[in-house]
């Protein structure tokens, strides 16, 4: 069975601070994919990044960066110089074979980030 844990339920930071959102996953599959999605107050789910289990290179996209460590089963997300528009719920998700004919996304419970001006 797959499991994703986002231990931080809510985080508040002051604008321009850096913040790291933690994600720990569990799977027995050797091939899997990790995702981050953002859910702003308007409710839609916005895709941020996808990584596969064979690629442990860290990735940077503007103020966003992701640190994938297979040894600790973690896929953490850092926002540098946070802005008020970053306020949202962030979901980490794991895609692996479900055993029922498809690859399913298993989501963590999300971390609510509030950036205070």
Binding site for another protein (CB under 8 A): 31, 33, 35, 37, 42-47, 50, 52, 91, 93, 95, 97-98, 100-110
CA 22/CA 104 separation, integer angstroms: 21
Q: Provide, rounded to whole angstroms, the least separation between the CB of residue 71 and another protein.
A: 22
Residue number with CB closer to another protein (3 or 16): 3
For residue 1 the two structure tokens come to 């069975």
Q: How far is the CB of 45 from another protein (least distance, A)?
A: 4
Cα 91 to Cα 48, 99, 117: the distances in Å are 10, 23, 23
- Chain centroid offset of residue 1 CA: 19
Nearer to another protein, 19 or 91 (CB): 91
CB of 46 to another protein, least distance (A): 8
Q: For tokens 């702003």, what's the residue?
A: 40
């Amino acid at each position: 069975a797959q499991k994703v844990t986002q231990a931080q339920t809510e985080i508040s930071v002051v604008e321009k601070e850096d913040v790291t959102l933690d994600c720990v996953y569990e799977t027995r599959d050797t091939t899997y994919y990790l995702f981050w999605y953002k859910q702003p107050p308007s409710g839609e789910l916005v895709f941020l990044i996808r990584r596969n289990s064979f690629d442990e290179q860290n990735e940077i996209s503007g103020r966003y960066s992701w640190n994938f460590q297979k040894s600790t089963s973690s896929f953490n997300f850092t926002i540098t110089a946070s802005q008020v528009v970053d306020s949202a719920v962030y979901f980490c998700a794991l895609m692996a074979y479900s055993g029922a004919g498809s690859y399913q996304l298993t989501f963590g419970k999300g971390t609510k980030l509030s950036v205070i001006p």
